[in-house]
Structure 1
Amino acid sequence: MKIAIIVFPGSNCDVDLFEALHSVCGATAQYVSYQEKSLAGFDAVMIPGGFSYGDYLRCGAIARFSNIMPEVVRFAAAGKPVLGICNGFQILTEAGLLPGALKRNNGLKFICKTTALTVENNETPFTNQYQAKEKIYLPIAHADGSYYAQKDVLAQLEAKHQVVFRYADENPNGSLNDIAGIINETGNVLGMMPHPERAVEALLGNVDGLRVFTALLAGNGYQKEAIR
């Protein structure tokens, strides 16, 4: 399985994501510039966190018009897996690949800490190695992570089990319905504000994020003898 990591001006979690995939999981990952126009040969796409284009105008709003994004849209439409983390989630909503939007945190402050989540949907390609309602802990680092959508959109997300991760214990940013991550209707595009790539080794604090990647890899026939 060959995974594209899209790099925009201002991306700053691309290396973290590469190391999680390559060094920890032993997967084949490659950086792909926002200037490229093709994703030929790739089996999955991941959009890392950061501050694409300095978050000017609105988080993800400028990145959405980069050369690579029409290809990401086509890639997703073909049913191939796409994962957007933090700024990547923001970009996916701006591109129309996921409903809703990410707005300023309720406290109007940047939040950087580990937070508790529940796995609301463990029947996706990214979460099928978790237990339903399992409580996990992942880092967050964002100023614009409060998920917002109209009432009818929220109702649809809930009815169709598209809420994948939900904040537990506390809602750090004011996200409606405590939403921390959602998936599209066809189940191949996941956006999440917490950073699973920062929780893949015990040295980093815990390994609760590792299964996001191993689930996707295993579902595509990839196996590794030992995941440390």
Structure 2
Amino acid sequence: MTAVKERRPVAVVTGGAKGIGAAICDALIADGYWVAAVDIATTAKQDHLEGYVADISDLAALIATLEKIEAEHGLVRVLVNNAGILSSKTLFELTPETFDRTVAINLRPVIFASQHVARRLIAEDRPGSIVNVASSAGRFGSIWPDYGTSKAGVIGATLSLAKALADKQIRVNAVAPGQVVTDMNAEMSPEQRAINSARIGMKRPADPSEIADVVAFLAGDRASFVTGSVVDANGGRF
């Protein structure tokens, strides 16, 4: 008799094409998930992963993409809201348009992707997990007000979503990385990277896999009684 392959639970990672997002995809695959990487860029193909191209600042396109994933692969059990942009506009350079663009990518999709996935889980009476990638900038502030504000909003959204969904057995947590070796980090000036590194107790930036491992823990059953938590994965910012 031929053994029937068990279907992997479905996880969605926004911003999954590279950097922290790609590392999160790898960690979730290693933990037994089938992963949909939603990104404005094309995602490299691999086993148990499929890329979906979408601009998540367009909420209609984001929801349509989630519906397509569900139609093709089944109920989304884990959502990782990871996608984000780094604005490098100081207070007096900032415009309303720049601010709105940052919030449209870093914060709004966290609420509305979570709303969609939670509705489907509740309708099927299934538990689930949502993990949001925030930032130390949301904890300590940033010289770029729109970025820091958007990431503080992600932390606030995490706490509010956790309260709204706890009795539905849908857990919501966040990870707040510090400096991480990614393309986004490379956009900073060498001087700013040096300032950030000096604030880290461990005196080095994180590898994306170190953040991904925290996300995978929060997403999975090992964190079955953890919700409304924000884990600082920043190497010790004192």
TM superposition score category, shorter chain reference = 0.3 to 0.5
Q: TM-score normalized by structure 1?
A: 0.37
Which is higher, the Rg of structure 1 or of structure 2?
2
Q: TM-score normalized by structure 2?
A: 0.35
Higher strand share: 1
